[in-house]
Amino acid sequence: MSVRVLALVGSLRAGSHNRQLAEAAVKHAPEGVEVVIHEGLADVPFYNEDIDVEGSVPAAATALREAAAQADAFLFFSPEYNGTVTAVLKNAIDWLSRPYGAGALSGKPTAVVGTAYGQFGGLWAQDEARKSLGIAGANVLADAKLSVPGSVVRFAELHPQDDAEIVEQLPAVLAQLAEATAVSA
């Protein structure tokens, strides 16, 4: 049985190091784990209950929810903007948390990792994302973490998929998600 992990990247920038980290997750996923990067977060409008009604849900939000429904687990890649989670990632969490108590995140194993320019690798943003995800109903794995500091320098000439620390630690996070999925099945 394969575990399907939906990867959501909180940076829309071309050449984003967090996007590259997600690509590394795809490449180095352990056997039995499939990582799928969701495309289209830039097209999801800000969450608004007025448009979250049958027949009015925007196509991009519907596509996000459908991808999430097909996932066994989630891996969020969070950069840090002004000391907190990015708007695009928070918006995805908001859409996936509805309907309240029965959203696509509900009970599914979830981890948050990421990289940022600062010395803590986006740790504040990742903690904020974990908090929001937990409130949204996800089964946030507290010990499944990876914060990579100094992204601009560290990945200037090296793709994260070729970084020894990433190649070792990212598959370990994915293995934790797979294990949690098996336990909750």
- From the centroid of its chain, how far is CA 141? 12
CA dihedral 75→80→86→90, nearest 10 degrees, is 50
Distance of CA 42 to the CA centre of its chain: 14
Alpha carbon dihedral 135, 79, 23, 154, in 10-degree steps, equals -140
Classified as helix, coil or strand, 29 is coil
Q: Are 166 and 24 in contact (CB under 8 A)?
A: yes
| Span 67-124, pLDDT tens digits | 999 999 999 999 999 999 999 999 999 999 998 888 999 999 999 999 999 888 899 9
Helix H or strand E encompassing 35:
strand 33-37
- For 40-76, the pLDDT digits (tens) are 999 999 999 999 999 999 999 999 999 999 999 999 9
What pLDDT band is residue 38 in, cutting at 50, 70 and 90? very high
Beta strands in the chain (DSSP E): 3-9, 33-37, 73-77, 109-115, 139-148
Return the amino acid letter for 133. Answer: L
Query: What's the rounded Cα separation, in Å, for the pair 46 and 73?
Result: 23
Per-residue pLDDT reduced to its tens digit, 125-178: 999 999 999 999 999 999 999 999 999 999 999 999 999 999 999 999 999 999
> Which residue has 């409008």 as its token pair?
45
Residue 67 CB coordination number (10 Å)? 19
Reduced to 3 states, what is the DSSP secondary structure of residue 55?
A: coil
